[in-house]
């Protein structure tokens, strides 16, 4: 009864348009009162949910990503991708994917990637005769590779939700190969659509210009290298690495690229504060909601229901993926990680899946939700950048969905894709 009330209220609030954080908090508060638990306990659960030392990395990584966006690093990465992939049929589509992968590697934000890379490339693609729906589809789907290629603050949220047994360093490494695979499949999809529509080929600028583009972008790309190597070598912890990322980004933006003025810095601070406050409020509300789910034995009941359907591991993994995909279309990523990790992680591990691999599966699953209506924040950004309504773009996005689902199936059923690099280090 109480479990149905908790979930039903959340669904109701989301349907009528209540913001996710407030929907989670209100549903939890009402259920606390029905259970005759003092409302102050809800506040305690919220504060304990955000009082996790590892989560301190989130505001720093968000701030570093915003600084990179405003300091023109995306433009330099686009030049590298253009020199490397621009000669292919529909080369600017390949450039979009390649630049998104590189920007994701230094910012860890899908929304920032879609905004930065999309706003840089959209005018160029329109000038070359590319259709708006193609621009939006490539930009939005390519942006979610940044959720897999380290660093990613969503991975930190997963580590906090999973508890002991999963390390940030291992999860960062585990995302590299799946991120590259996802990007490669999206490039294939982009090439296929471009070939069918007859988009033009680009021209290779020559090795000298390619080397120059790489040299100009290298200081920005080194952010990801410094973070991962620093964590693996033990020079600093994952949380400390986020602060190192901010300091390094400020230094290269002010003194190497000289592209970030005082006004841009203030806007980056303001943007990071706003984004962090929203993320932390969602995490706190989701923590209270998740605590109630555990109290009411929601995960146990769901596990029993799944096992009652089938005991075949392949079918169960497909069901878990399907449920995460559906949930991702209605809720944002951060609260879903907090809520669903305690539910599905024990089921996945009981079926033999490593917690680190499941983290990567969850990142891509929920990332696909970010580019799927009705609540696809990255798709909304892509539509805004491309100047197209969401109803128009979803009609032609299916080749890119197929690429993402193919990557998801490979990551789910081929553990080596996620576990090879962590095993080596």
d(CA 295, CA 5): 14
318-344 pLDDT per residue, tens: 999 998 988 888 777 888 888 888 889
d(CA 205, CA 212): 11
Using 50, 70 and 90 to split pLDDT, how confident is the model at 182? very high
- Summarize the confidence of residues 102-127 as an average pLDDT: 77
- Summarize the confidence of residues 177-205 as an average pLDDT: 87
Q: Which residues pair with 201 in a beta bridge?
A: 89
**Backbone phi, psi, residue 87, to 5°:** -80, -15
d(CA 78, CA 129): 18
Does the structure show a pLDDT above 90 at 12?
A: no
18-73 pLDDT per residue, tens: 877 888 888 888 888 888 888 888 888 888 877 777 777 778 877 877 787 777 77
Number of domains into which the chain is organized = 1
Q: What pTM was estimated for this model as a whole? A: 0.83
d(CA 320, CA 362): 10
How many Å from the N-terminal Cα to the C-terminal Cα in the chain?
48
Q: Measuring CA to CA, how many Å separate 257 from each of 211, 254, 369?
A: 17, 6, 35
b/e burial code for range 152-187 (CB count within 10 A of at least 16 → b): bbbbbbbbbbbeeebbbbbbbbbbbbbbebbbebbb
Domain region containing 68:
2-424
d(CA 257, CA 146): 23
Average pLDDT of the chain?
83
Q: Measuring CA to CA, how many Å separate 282 from each of 2, 17, 113, 205, 344?
A: 22, 15, 22, 46, 20
pLDDT of amino acid 25: 85
- Summarize the confidence of residues 283-287 as an average pLDDT: 82
- Summarize the confidence of residues 246-266 as an average pLDDT: 82
Does the structure show a pLDDT above 90 at 359?
A: yes
**Backbone phi, psi, residue 38, to 5°:** -50, 135
């Amino acid at each position: 009864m109480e479990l149905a009330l908790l979930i039903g209220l959340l669904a109701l609030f989301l349907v009528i348009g209540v913001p996710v954080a407030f929907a989670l908090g209100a549903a939890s508060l009402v259920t606390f009162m029905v259970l005759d638990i003092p409302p102050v306990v809800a506040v305690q659960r919220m504060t304990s949910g955000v009082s996790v030392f590892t989560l301190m990395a989130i505001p720093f990584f968000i701030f570093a990503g915003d600084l990179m966006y405003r300091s023109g690093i995306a433009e330099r990465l686009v030049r590298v991708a253009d020199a490397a992939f621009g000669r292919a049929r529909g080369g600017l589509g390949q450039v979009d994917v390649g630049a998104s992968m590189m920007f994701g590697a230094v910012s860890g934000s899908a929304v920032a990637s879609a905004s930065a890379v999309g706003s840089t490339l959209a005018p160029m693609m329109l000038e070359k005769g590319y259709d708006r729906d193609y621009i939006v589809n490539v930009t939005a789907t390519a942006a979610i590779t940044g959720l897999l290629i380290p660093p990613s603050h969503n991975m930190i949220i997963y580590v906090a939700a999973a508890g002991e047994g999963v390390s940030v360093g291992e999860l960062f490494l585990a995302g590299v190969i799946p991120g590259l695979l996802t990007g490669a499949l999206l490039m294939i999809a982009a090439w296929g659509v471009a070939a069918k529509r007859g988009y033009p080929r680009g021209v290779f600028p020559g090795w000298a210009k390619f080397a120059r583009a790489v040299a100009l972008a290298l200081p920005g790309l080194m952010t990801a290298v410094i973070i991962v190597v620093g964590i693996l070598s033990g020079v600093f912890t994952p949380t400390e690495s986020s602060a190192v990322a901010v300091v390094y980004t400020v230094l290269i933006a002010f003194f190497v690229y000289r592209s970030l003025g005082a006004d841009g810095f203030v806007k980056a601070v303001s943007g990071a504060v706003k984004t962090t406050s929203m993320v932390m409020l969602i995490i706190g509300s989701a923590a209270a909601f998740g605590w109630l789910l555990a109290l009411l034995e929601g995960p146990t009941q769901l596990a029993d229901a799944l096992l009652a359907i089938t005991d075949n591991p392949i079918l169960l993994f497909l069901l878990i993926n399907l449920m995460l995909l559906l949930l991702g279309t209605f809720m944002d990523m951060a609260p879903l990680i907090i809520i669903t990790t305690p539910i599905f992680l024990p089921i996945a591990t009981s079926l033999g899946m490593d917690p680190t691999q499941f983290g990567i599966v969850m990142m891509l699953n929920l990332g696909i939700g970010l580019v799927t209506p009705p609540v696809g924040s990255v798709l909304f950004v892509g539509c805004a950048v491309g100047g197209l309504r969401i109803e128009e773009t979803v009609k032609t996005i299916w080749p890119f969905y197929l690429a993402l689902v193919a990557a998801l199936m490979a990551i789910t059923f081929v553990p080596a894709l996620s576990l090879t690099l962590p095993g080596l280090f």
